[in-house]
Amino acid sequence: MNAALRTSRFDTLSPPQTPQYEALSLTQYGKTAQITLNGMIYTLTITRAGKLILTK
């Protein structure tokens, strides 16, 4: 069989979409939210300039 004609069953699948979240929803319309990963707590902060900072 010609290699150009072969397709895998994955060729027709769409790539998974990256989840998208509204930062203000995460902070419940405040300035900070805590996010945990592998037992560690990180703080997401929205600055006065409207930028995001993630700290450990």
Query: Is position 9 within any domain?
Result: no
Query: Is position 44 within any domain?
Result: yes
| Greatest Cα-to-Cα distance within the chain, rounded to the nearest angstrom | 61
Average pLDDT over residues 37-56: 98
Query: Is position 15 within any domain?
Result: no
Query: Is position 11 within any domain?
Result: no
Is the pTM above the cut of 0.75?
no
Across the beta sheet with 52-55, the strand order is 32-37, 40-46, 52-55
Beta bridge partners of 18: none
Query: Is position 18 within any domain?
Result: no
Tell me: pLDDT of 1 over 60: no
Q: What is the pLDDT of residues 15-32, one digit of tens each?
A: 789 999 999 999 999 999
Query: Is position 48 within any domain?
Result: yes
Tell me: pLDDT of 49 over 80: yes
Query: Which residues span the domain enclosing 33?
Result: 23-55
Beta bridge partners of 32: 45
**Per the structure, how many domains does the chain have?**
1
Q: What phi and psi values does residue 6 have, to the nearest 5 degrees?
A: -75, 135
Q: Is 54 helix (H, G, I), strand (E, B) or coil?
A: strand
Query: Is position 34 within any domain?
Result: yes
